[in-house]
Structure 1
Amino acid sequence: MNPFFAQTPIKWGIIGCGNVTEVKSGPAYQITEGFELFGVMRRNLDKAEDYAKRHKVPLYTDDAKALIHHPEIDAIYIATPPDTHKLYGLQVAAAGKPCCIEKPMAPTYAESLAIYNTFKGKNIPLFLAYYRRSLPRFLKIKEWLSDDLIGEVRHINWYKSRTASPLDRSGEYNWRTDAKIAPAGYFDDLASHGLDLFIFLLGDIVKANGFATNQQSLYSAYDSVSGSWMHKNGAMGSGSWNFGANEARDKVEIFGSNGEIRFSVLDEEPIELITPEKKESLVIPHPKHLHEFHVLNMKRHLLGKEIHPSTGESGLHTSWVMSKIIGQN
């Protein structure tokens, strides 16, 4: 593959330096050799300044266009809620700069497609922040599958539930449950991680469908979703996500012709391999900054060393699957 940048340092700007960038993602751009976090933007200038001073970032602003077009910034990470991903993504593409967009790519598949086509048409690298594709914990599961330790995969099932939070019950505004921003609420925010991971582990999904409803009437987005799908290799899949249950659970089971693999997507539980020959349980901790390996892989991609596991193309496919499950046109 051809490099987009011939050399480092590569200077990044973040649009939306909120909570997700404090520990999970922002510092990863600072600890990655060859990357520099040069500027941050937030609509509240005081908060942008506070973030910049605490994280020792040279530039801060409340103007996204100023950040995008700053001559010293080479690439942009969009960490805003999904409803502005298309707005800012198209501006970054117009500026000719590589971009990483927080998941999901956009509230609808149509918007995701518009973002993807724009970057593809300009031959500019586009990444999605599905960082689980780069985490050692899930790479070990992929290794077990690649080594056929459970034989041919027959079925994958995920059950994810949680109780309604005090914020949900209070009626206080939460963009994650606003149907205009995230039509399926926590499904968009959380289940997207798992569906994208399953595609990474088992290959593209060729058929998907499902049902979505609002059982609690606490907010405008869906709070209960169930779905089924089929991977290109013939493996079947099913999932149920309920955000008003009596307890929190996060359980994935991959059933094969010679065993099974058990793990959680969002909880940091052991990964388990169970076959007639062996039983193995491994605890593989996440790094302090969850995006660390994801960001490192972006550097390798931009320098032409290897293709990133989470690109615009893979992120678009995940958006398509999600749209099919919730019945979105």
Structure 2
Amino acid sequence: MIGCGSVTELKSAPAYQKTEGFELYAVMGRDITKAKDYAKRHHVPHFYDDAEALINHPEIDAIYIATPPDSHEYYALKVAEAGKICCIEKPMAPSYEACVRINAAFEDRKLPLFVAYYRRSLPRFLQIKEWIDQHKIGSIRHIHWHFSKPANAMDKSRSYNWRTDATIAPGGYFDDLASHGLDLIVFLLGSIKSAEGMAENKLGLYTAKDNITGHWKHSSGVTGFGTWDFGADKREDVVKIYGNEGNITFSVFGEDPIILERDDETKRLNIAHPEHVQWHHVQNMKANLLENAMHPSTGETAAHTAWVMERILKNKIEVINN
């Protein structure tokens, strides 16, 4: 594992360790003291401050890249060159073009490449997909997602945060958070053929964007609209899928009940996340590698999500000045 940040503490690293047949053999961090501490706390036998030494270790078969996105391409190309399996944290890279280059490197060597859009594997969202595939709300017409959250203490103090550094994450929290939801929407409703949006920095607390709107059209004809506000007065996270016979409401990040409404029927289901939220994602990796089962989140699917996000952030909506 390259990177020892907070995302790995509970969400991901333990999922690899608890999967039969997998072993977290080594971790790498630029600060050797922190890498050593992480390895000790998580009972990982080896630790490094040199990524290439870890990547090229003969006992290591696969690499999980869990660093900020601006370094994903650099490390991924090293992993491909070493001929090893790879999983990259989301978003896959800061640009669609970088995603294309990463995919090409792994395709040329016929190596498996996964991306940690783990919501595609979570039971609560698989239930929603089942409702859609069973036409529980008839023909899907439209989807709307609104997400907002207040600026946090780090934002207000103008402390450095790579998630709001435009050189690393041009869309700010949009890159980090909205990527999860947009990738999930593609998983539920199919590929997107066109997308555009408007992105602004209204707060002036950091260099990245903080207020984004977007709309898109799926290849199936379903239309979508999203609003993301990272300087709101309160947190909201509501997705609604509209069909001609009902609708489905859910949250991307919360564990609120998923709701199916049709005719005079309302069904609410509480489906909790596992202790380690990437557990099912890792299990699907194992099934892909050992049983040739399809994994829902690959370099190809993640690159498509990157393309959609990039289109929304391009500010292609024309403004007429009166």
TM range (shorter): over 0.9
Q: Distance in 2 between matches of 1:165 and 1:268?
A: 21
Q: Which residue of 1 aligns with 2:276?
A: 289
Kindly indicate whether residue 66 of structure 2 is the aligned counterpart of residue 79 of structure 1: yes
CA drift of 1:328 comes to 7.8
Superposed displacement of residue 92, structure 1: 0.3
1:76 and 1:328 mapped to 2: Cα distance?
Answer: 36
SS in 2 for 1:191: helix
Partner of 2:320: none
Partners of 1:77 and 1:161 in 2: CA distance: 30
Is residue 121 from structure 1 mapped to residue 70 from structure 2 by the alignment? no
Q: Does 1:102 align with 2:80?
A: no
Secondary structure, in 3 states, of the residue corresponding to 1:26?
Answer: helix
Match of 2:53 among 66, 69, 83: 66
Code of the aligned partner of 2:212: V
Q: Percent identity?
A: 58
Structure 1, unmatched stretches of 5+, are 1-13
For the pair 1:224 / 2:178, whether they are aligned, the reply is no
Match of 2:121 among 89, 109, 134: 134
Runs of 4+ in 1 over 4 A off after TM superposition: none
Matches within 5 A, 1:233-312: 233-312=220-299
Q: Residue 319 of structure 2 aligns with which residue?
A: none
| Distance (whole Å) between structure 1 residues aligned to residue 207 and residue 124 of structure 2 | 35
Structure 1 counterpart SS, 2:24? strand
- Report the secondary structure of 2:12's partner residue: coil
Length-normalised TM-score, structure 1: 0.95
146, 149, 153: which one pairs with 2:140? 153
Partner of 2:23, secondary structure, is: strand
After TM superposition, give the deviation of residue 242 of structure 1 in Å: 0.5
Correspondence 1:322 to 2:305: no
Give the deviation of 1:304 after TM superposition.
3.5
- In structure 2, the partner of 1:194 is 181
The code of the aligned residue for 2:301 comes to: S
Q: Tell me which residue corresponds to 1:48.
A: 35
Structure 2 stretches of 5 or more lacking a match? 317-322
The structural deviation recorded for 1:109 is: 0.9
- Partner letter of residue 86 of structure 1? E
Q: How far 1:255 moved relative to its partner? A: 0.2
Q: Give the 3-state SS of the residue equivalent to 1:179 in structure 2.
A: coil
How far apart in 2 are the matches of 1:257 and 1:233?
15
1:172 and 2:159 aligned: yes
Partner Cα distance (1:117, 1:278) in 2: 48
**Could you list the per-position Cα deviations for residues 295-327 of structure 1 after superposition, in whole angstroms to 9, with x for gaps in the alignment?**
010011111330100001100100000110001
Partner-residue secondary structure (3-state), 1:209: strand
Residues of 2 paired with 1:239 and 1:18: CA distance? 29
CA distance in 2, matches of 1:223, 1:121: 38
- The 1:25–1:328 alpha-carbon spacing in structure 2 relative to 1, beyond 3 Å, is farther
1:319 maps to a residue whose letter is: A
String of CA shifts for 1:15-41, please: whole Å, max 9, x gaps: 001111000000000111111110000
Aligned-CA RMSD value: 1.0
| Count of residue correspondences | 316
Deviations 1:199-253 (A, max 9, x none): 0000000010001010000000000110000111110000000000111100000
